[in-house]
Amino acid sequence: MTDLPATVTLADVAREAGVSKMTVSNVINNKPGMSEDTRQRVRHAIDRTGYVVNPAARALSSKRPRNNLIGVLTPQLNWPWVAELLHGASTTAEAAGLNLAIFTTASNPTLERERATLLRTLADGVLLVIPSAEEHSIFGDSVPVVTLGGHGQHTVQVDNYTGGYLATKHLIDLGHTRVAHLAGQNDDTPLRDATDRQAGYHAALLDAGLPVPDAYVQKGEYAEDVAERVTRTLLTLPEPPTAIFAANDLSAIGALRAAAALGRRVPQDLSIVGFDDIHAAAVTDPPLTTVRQPLEEMGQAAARLLIHLTRNEPTDSHVRFPATLVVRGSTAPPGQEAHMDP
């Protein structure tokens, strides 16, 4: 447990072990072709000196370094959806001996490019969470890329369309005919996920022969405060919806808030379905009926995919997880009490 801030280099270890730098390097990288004796001697020298490779130097000298590093680019860390996803990824990565370096998406273009350069040179692979179109192009094929919640060459996704369909159908089956939607879309970037969920919503209504008044589809932007504001508008419509399908749990919670503020009881006066099944969905008042994404598993799958890619092992290109409906207390037939399964 001695801490020598002085940097130990390959040369130091080599001197200590009485070999050349290259031999030490080869031992470190588990290269074959050297006597077991030498290998041991070097190992000991490494332990004694407390040597650790300098990833920067390694990155500089070899084009495709093995730094045990996976870079992650993600918006907003305090989005529960992201946190749970990354938790899964981190678990799997660590089990495989890989570090996760997480960067939040920079607004500043210079920062963005610096960060990309850093990852391109340093990381074994990159995990993109809900990336913008530009984020993709930055990496080209300089390093393996897996996309979580978006499109790309290698992706991990939930079946958003079916999820949207299931949520809406659940409301229809309960007897609702006026079903609104808080879409995930915002103006800047048309997110694929949001579009698919909305398509599922439309399809379910269409299959049931129900109309979709334009005013019933609002942009919730995946955000709690926006959803709250928009829900107020919906509920004060001349003919307000009796049920809302929110594109994610956060906006469902916003809707919950708006309902409470306007004195509408959930689910008696208004049914609400979310999407994601984040941790918080189970403890809201009332507990949220929602479409479950297996977030942790999805994160794990993404990490696994990336690990295979970095090792040039064969893998699937696209992993799609099923969306399942979790019925809790926020949905009921219009004008009635909740019917909950235990």
Q: How far is CA 42 from CA 13, 31, 184, in A?
A: 7, 13, 56
Rounded distance between C-alpha atoms, residue 263 and residue 76, angstroms: 32
- Cα first-last separation, the chain: 53
Query: Is 319 among the residues that bind a copy of itself (CB under 8 A)?
Result: no
Query: Is 113 among the residues that bind a copy of itself (CB under 8 A)?
Result: yes
Q: Minimum CB separation from a copy of itself for residue 15, in Å?
A: 20
Query: Closer to a copy of itself at the Cβ: 215 or 280?
Result: 280
Query: How far is residue 281 CA from its own chain's centroid?
Result: 17
Taking CB under 8 A as the criterion, the residue among 40, 117, 153, 336 binding a copy of itself is 117
Q: Which does 84 bind (CB under 5 to 8 A by kind): DNA, a copy of itself, none?
A: a copy of itself
Query: Closer to DNA at the Cβ: 23 or 231?
Result: 23
Taking CB under 8 A as the criterion, the residue among 37, 141, 188, 239 binding a copy of itself is 141
Rounded distance between C-alpha atoms, residue 21 and residue 10, angstroms: 6
Rounded distance between C-alpha atoms, residue 58 and residue 65, angstroms: 6
Query: Is 283 among the residues that bind a copy of itself (CB under 8 A)?
Result: yes
Local structure of residue 275 (DSSP, 8 states): E
Q: How far is CA 209 from CA 177, 205, 218, 325, 335, in A?
A: 10, 6, 21, 22, 22
Rounded distance between C-alpha atoms, residue 216 and residue 308, angstroms: 44
* Candidates 29-37, 137-145, 169-177, 238-246; binding stretch for a copy of itself (CB under 8 A): 137-145
Contact 27, 42 (CB under 8 A): yes
325: helix, strand or coil = strand
Hey, which residues between 179 and 208 contact a copy of itself (CB under 8 A)?
A: none
Query: Closer to a copy of itself at the Cβ: 118 or 327?
Result: 118
* Candidates 95-103, 153-161, 162-170, 172-180; binding stretch for a copy of itself (CB under 8 A): 95-103
Query: Is 76 among the residues that bind a copy of itself (CB under 8 A)?
Result: yes
Binding site for DNA (CB under 7 A): 7, 9-11, 18-23, 25-26, 28-29, 33-35, 37-39, 51, 53-54, 57-58, 60-62, 65
Q: Which does 3 bind (CB under 5 to 8 A by kind): DNA, a copy of itself, none?
A: a copy of itself
What is the residue whose two structure tokens read 């990309």? 116
DSSP 175-234: T---EEEEE---SS---HHHHHHHHHHHHHHHHTT----GGGEEE-TT-HHHHHHHHHHH
Enumerate binding residues for a copy of itself (CB under 8 A). Answer: 1, 3, 5, 52-57, 59-60, 67-69, 76-78, 80, 83-84, 86-87, 90, 94, 97-104, 106-108, 110-111, 113-118, 121-122, 137-142, 253, 256-257, 279-280, 283-287
